[in-house]
Structure 1
Amino acid sequence: MVRIRLQRHGRKRAPFYHIVAADSRKKRDGRVIERLGRYNPVATPATVAVDTERVMYWIKTGAQPSETVERLLRNEGIYYRLHLERWKKSPEEIEAAVSSWKEEKAAKAGSTVSNKEAKKAAIAAEEEAFQAEQKKRAEEEAKKAEEARIAKEKADAEAKAAAEAAKAEAEAAPDTAAEADAPAEETGDAPAEETKSE
């Protein structure tokens, strides 16, 4: 059975692959029937170059693509072309439909966010929320400290006023006590008791 699969080339940690039609009983890097394209996963973004007509020929004759190759061919629109051919579309209609499909796919890929970017955005949002929470907490603590300072100043002022009032009362109190202790001034009148005894 003929398989459409990847054949590894390149060096260690820098692979690229040929997309080949080969006998399924042969080794991965063994003899091939036909080379159909090239795939480079290391490039950014990954590049795929496929001979569309030959790939479609092999699929029509019953060649089975591997899972990875099938995914690559779907992304290139090969299966969409086969679908349109089955519906008896003209080559012009097929080309127009596939090109519009690729444009929509590229626009969608440009608008979507990669997992890495999404994680980075989530971390940034979390950091921003944490900073906002810290700022809010610091403002609340500063407000509480200011309220405590004002309350302390008020209490100190009240205590000072109370001390001054007590001091003023204490200064006034000896004068009244001295007046109470002073002997009564002698007047010309004799006491009533003395007059009786005479």
Structure 2
Amino acid sequence: MIKIRLQRKGRKKRPFYHIVVADSRSPRDGRIIEQLGRFDNVSESKELTYDEERVMHWLKIGAQPSDTVRSIFKKEGILYKMHLIRWGKSDEEIEAALEEWRQAREEKSKDDDVSRKAKQQQILKAEEKEYKKQLEEKAAAAAKELERKKAQEEAAKAEAEAEAKEAAEEESAKATEETADEVKEEEQETAADESAKAEADEKEEVKAEESEEAPAEEKKEAKAEETEEAPAKEEAKADDSEEEEKAEAKEEASKEESKEEPAEAEEKKEAAPKEEKKAEEKEEAPSQVSTDMNATEAIDHIKNTPIDDLKGFVPEDEDRVTVQRAWESKQEE
């Protein structure tokens, strides 16, 4: 049996077909009887060329078209013309019927084009709405994150202030206790000195009563020496108290410095990984991606930009159909 079928040509993933007449027993790429035309359904123009006279000739002598070839001839009106010839119509009637059929087909194709454009516009509008919605959700999430960070910072500040107040209160309490202890020690020392003086006076009086024969000048010298020793003792006590106060002030300053140094070191350690993360995010983030644009802007950018400059422009999370189609067509070019 003689068949009219398609013979595959071209390369991998980019085929085109020859419309050929061949024996049904021959393989697809085997020997053919005659080539009638060429069909390319991969390109946007959908190229189709054929010799109508030879096609009509082979159909009249009984050649059977394959299913794909039959649908092609049906769309081109060849099968309709064969039916008119078999019904015995004249050439003028056949031409008039074919002209009427072509006009109806053109009107239908226009309606199909309009419906396709309308669908495309609807898809674009839906994608733009979804894109705006995603942007609003991202903005809301960013605002919530900022509020959460501010609340955490305020809580941390309040805790730090409370800790500082507690530390200051503790230090003041310690200082008051130390001053109270010092006052008590001074009072005790003064009381001991007074008691010692009283005992010394009593002893002197006893000695004076016992030794009435001692000259008056020796008594005066003894009293003068006692009066000179008393202010010397008081000066020595004042010097000792001043040295103790200086030593305590130095110890408090060293404690405060030791508290501040680990706090500053911890702040530097916490700030260092944050700065490193920011630098890494800036290096990894592409300059511009399709998800940052609406559908029409992304499609125009893909069409007007060389394919070498579009690396990473369409990320994996791009779910808009129109943008994906534009990217695929750009890759095929």
Shared fold, TM over 0.5: yes
Report what 2:93 is aligned to.
93
Structure 1 residue 68: deviation in Å? 0.5
Q: Relative contact order (alpha carbons < 8 A, sep ≥ 6): 1 or 2 greater?
A: 1
Structure 1 residue 128: deviation in Å? 8.4
Structure 1 residue 127: deviation in Å? 6.4
Q: Aligned to 1:5, what secondary structure does the other structure show?
A: strand
Q: Aligned to 1:45, what secondary structure does the other structure show?
A: coil
For each residue in 1:127-167, what CA deviation from the matched residue of structure 2 results, as whole angstroms up to 9, or x when unmatched?
Answer: 6888xxxxxxxxxxxxxxxxxxxxxxxxxxxxxxxxxxxxx
Structure 1 residue 3: deviation in Å? 1.0
Q: 1:123 to 1:92 in 2, by over 3 A?
A: same
CA distance in 2, matches of 1:99, 1:45: 23
Q: Aligned to 1:43, what secondary structure does the other structure show?
A: coil
Structure 1 residue 70: deviation in Å? 0.3
Structure 1 residue 76: deviation in Å? 0.8
For each residue in 1:73-130, what CA deviation from the matched residue of structure 2 results, as whole angstroms up to 9, or x when unmatched?
Answer: 0011111101111221122321232133123212210221478645433335656888
CA distance in 2, matches of 1:118, 1:23: 46
Q: Which amino acid aligns with 2:30?
A: G
Q: Aligned to 2:43, what secondary structure does the other structure show?
A: coil
For each residue in 1:43-76, what CA deviation from the matched residue of structure 2 results, as whole angstroms up to 9, or x when unmatched?
Answer: 3231222222221222222221111000000011
For each residue in 1:3-31, what CA deviation from the matched residue of structure 2 results, as whole angstroms up to 9, or x when unmatched?
Answer: 11001112223222110110011111111
Q: 1:101 to 1:116 in 2, by over 3 A?
A: closer
| TM-score under structure 2 length normalisation | 0.36
Q: Which amino acid aligns with 2:82?
A: L
Q: Aligned to 2:122, what secondary structure does the other structure show?
A: helix
Q: 1:109 to 1:87 in 2, by over 3 A?
A: same
| 1:82 and 2:85 are equivalent in the alignment | no
Q: Aligned to 1:9, what secondary structure does the other structure show?
A: strand
Q: Aligned to 1:29, what secondary structure does the other structure show?
A: coil
Structure 1 runs of 4+ off > 6 angstroms? 127-130
CA distance in 2, matches of 1:88, 1:100: 18
Q: Which amino acid aligns with 1:41?
A: N
CA distance in 2, matches of 1:20, 1:124: 42
Q: Aligned to 1:17, what secondary structure does the other structure show?
A: strand
Q: Which amino acid aligns with 1:91?
A: D
Q: Aligned runs of 1:47-196 on 2, under 5 Å?
A: 47-113=47-113, 117=117, 119-124=119-124, 126=126
CA distance in 1, matches of 2:3, 2:43: 25
CA root-mean-square deviation: 2.8
Report what 2:20 is aligned to.
20
Q: Which amino acid aligns with 1:6?
A: L
| TM-score under structure 1 length normalisation | 0.58
Q: 1:114 to 1:70 in 2, by over 3 A?
A: farther
Q: Which amino acid aligns with 2:103?
A: E
Report what 1:34 is aligned to.
34
Q: Which amino acid aligns with 2:45?
A: P
Report what 2:6 is aligned to.
6
Q: Aligned to 1:112, what secondary structure does the other structure show?
A: helix
Q: Which amino acid aligns with 1:31?
A: R
Report how many residues are paired. 133
Structure number with greater Rg is 2
Report what 1:160 is aligned to.
none
Structure 2 unpaired stretches of 5+:
131-333
Q: Aligned to 1:59, what secondary structure does the other structure show?
A: helix
